[in-house]
Chains A and B, each alone.
Chain A
Amino acid sequence: MFKVLVVEDDVETAQEIIEEFTSAGLEVRHESTGPEGLAQARTEAFDVITLDRMLPGLDGLSLLDALRSAGVTTPVLVLSALSSVDERVKGLRAGGDDYLVKPFAAAELLARVEALARRGTESRPTLLKVDNVELDLLSRVARRGPRVLDLSPREFKLLEFLMRHAGHVVTRAMLFEQVWRYRFDPGTNLVDVHIGRIRRKVDDAGERPLIHTVRGVGFMLRAVD
């Protein structure tokens, strides 16, 4: 079970976040001012911190700066109403690990927080394996059972991302940002089409489907038990 520190001064937003996290089984600690948040983050170990940029007492970026200077490496997700690219870059440069613009869907935040929390624990293997799908990150070869999957470099990256988060939901925005590195709303069904293509390559007729659509949120690669 992950432990999350939520530093958020807006009562309604905080309540929404806490509800979503709690119902997903996360342990949540909430602080509503900058100084309190900083003190909490320095004295207790957390898996992830979500940090509002505008906080009373000490703004989010200064808090982040102080935290990193103190040697705390806990992954931080910065929440902000400021959406421009510059602000995003500022947030990430100050030591943030992810940046989410308000207003956001609670499911999107949860997926990102869980991904950040897992990142702290995951190893960096050269071979990824889920069910009978194998991804050799050195030779860039993908296999399902004996069958070699014919993937383009981008499709390989996409599958790699899904496998690294196997068993967990990844949102369309996460995929678009982290597989393609783009930061705009691609609209329509762009990500779905790309997923559809690798799904057809991975899940051959008669095989157990591994790539699932999680309605309203995103996708999940999961071994069937």
Chain B
Amino acid sequence: MPWTELLRTTAFRWTFGLAAVLAMSILLMAGFFYWQTVVYLTGRIDTSLLSDVTHFAEVDQAEMPARLTAALASDPRRRKAYGLFDREGHRLAGNLPYQPSPLPPDGRVAQMKVMSDRQNQNGTITVRAAAVRLDNGNLLFMGRIADELQEIEDIVTRAMLLAILPAVVIALLGGALVSKSALRRVEAVRRACLSIMEGHLERRLPVRSKQDEFDRLSEIVNRMLDDIERLIAEARGAGDAVAHDVRTPLTRLRVRLERALRSDLPPAEVAPMLEKAIVDIDALLTTVTAILRITEVEQSRRRSNFGSMDLDEIVEAVSELYRPIAEEKGVGFVVEREPAPGVNGDADLVFEALANLVDNAIKFTPPQGRVTLSLGRSGEEASVAVLDTGPGIPVEDRQAVLRRFYRGDSSRSKPGTGLGLSLVAAIVRLHGFTLTLGEAPGGGCAAVIAAKAEGIAPS
């Protein structure tokens, strides 16, 4: 993997930022540490200086030079800068060659540079100092070298450099490692995608168990791929199913017409044959119309006909339309209506979906059986259920029958296109409702449409 690619990764750019932030915080910390130390040390120097000044100011004037000399002599580290000067500024005692100026003789501590007689210095030294005018007019100057402050500064600077450099290096190395692993995962995803694009639709992006942001993205993409795979499989299967559904009656039709053409048949026998042919053609037309209808609903992205629906009214209308059909077949038809929340949707389409479910239920329920159409509420959803006492749908077929144009083997013997459930599924998908197929009490089929109440966004 070339370095330039590493530098381009988001992770590495973030690492750069992080390293800068790290260096900045180390600087701030060291600065604060330095400042606090200096404040503390200065305070200590000033306190002891002031106590010296007070002490010496009370000493007998005549003894002053001797005392100063003694004090300087007992300062092996030569940190003291003392001086006693007369009114004219001549030195009377101390280790300062000249009277430092300008320092107001008010006993306050200030920082200044003074000439020193110390040979190891370049003539001037930085001191914290205070001066007082004595009663006899002499000036007492007392200073203390503040080179600790300089030392502290040096120490802090050194420590800072020692901390910052390794920290930044470590951060950048870590960043490179992280970026490299991110790049590896991108590479894995890229390879998976390429393979999918080559037609291996069953492949999925790698997902680790860690559930990080990469995994979450990959999972979403994988779900999308599931959908795409399903749609493509359905489209493939749909073509086959349609061709199959159309070929059988077409073949039968052809045989029938051929037979009718035979010249030795009396006209009385030809007419019923032609009539049967028309019935076959009508069945074919119905199938094709149903397919077009499903496509129309599936492609209708617009919801211009959506509005508030009264499910109670729709259920009532469906039962009015289908009760005679059930009765005609000797199937009991029960309607249970509980108060349900209002739902947003296209009332005509929802009616069509329910009509299809009820039509199916009646078709598959044997005489003496029962079909129940019920409306109710479950949580924040309105739910419409169609239960029957027919043979039910085998568990392994329940997903399949909702697919486009799927027709279970058992339904091939029944009249109709067998596309009803596909249409219901399309309508339900358009609305963002859910359609669940399960087992009704007694082993029949239970189809339940659940619709979010109005004003609640579909999940």
Residues of A at under 8 Å CB distance from B? Answer: 83-86, 154, 180, 182-190, 193-194, 196-197, 215-216
Contacts and interface: CB of A to CB of B under 8 A. Distances in A.
B206 interface: no
Given A86-B302, A188-B415, 5 more contacts: A180-B321, A182-B321, A187-B286, A190-B359, A216-B275
Interface in B231-279: 275, 278
11 contacts: A180-B321, A182-B348, A185-B289, A185-B293, A186-B321, A187-B286, A187-B359, A188-B325, A190-B325, A193-B325, A193-B328
Interface band, chain B = 20 to 34
A178 B290 CA distance: 21
Q: Which of B321, B351, B420 has the most chain A CB atoms inside 10 A of its CB? A: B321
Contact of B416 (A86, A154, A182, A187): A187
B286 A183 contact: no
Contacts of B127: none
A161 B142 CA distance: 125
Given A84-B300, A85-B348, A182-B351, A215 B275 contact: yes
A184 B305 contact: no
A184 B352 CA distance: 7
Given A183-B348, A185-B289, A188-B415, A85 B275 contact: no
Contact of B417 (A184, A187, A196): A187
B101 interface: no
Contacts of B325: 188-190, 193
Contacts of A216: 275, 278
B410 interface: no
B363 interface: yes
A187 B324 CA distance: 15
Contacts of A83: 292, 296
A194 B290 CA distance: 22
Given A83-B296, A86-B305, A190 B321 contact: yes
B355 interface: yes
Contacts, number: 53
Contacts of B355: 184, 186
A66 to B, nearest CB: 26
A194 B326 CA distance: 11
B293 A184 contact: yes
B304 interface: yes
Which 9 interchain pairs have the tightest Cβ spacing? A184-B352, A193-B325, A193-B328, A193-B324, A197-B324, A187-B416, A188-B416, A194-B324, A185-B289
Nearest to B346: A85
Nearest to A187: B416
Nearest to A194: B324
Interface in B283-320: 286, 289-290, 292-293, 296, 300, 302, 304-305, 320
Contacts of A84: 296, 300
Contacts of B305: 85-86
A188 B304 contact: no
A148 B325 CA distance: 24
A185 B321 contact: no
A196 B328 contact: yes
A185 B415 contact: no
A184 B297 CA distance: 12
A197 B300 CA distance: 37
Contacts of A190: 321-322, 325, 359
B363 A188 contact: yes
Nearest to B302: A86
Q: Which of B328, B417, B420 has the most chain A CB atoms inside 10 A of its CB? A: B328
Interface string B347-377: 0100110010001000100000000000000
A83 B304 CA distance: 15
Contacts of B293: 184-185
A204 B438 CA distance: 44
A190 B362 CA distance: 12
Q: Which of B325, B359, B420 has the most chain A CB atoms inside 10 A of its CB? A: B325
A157 B133 CA distance: 126
Given A185-B293, A187-B359, A188-B415, A86 B304 contact: yes
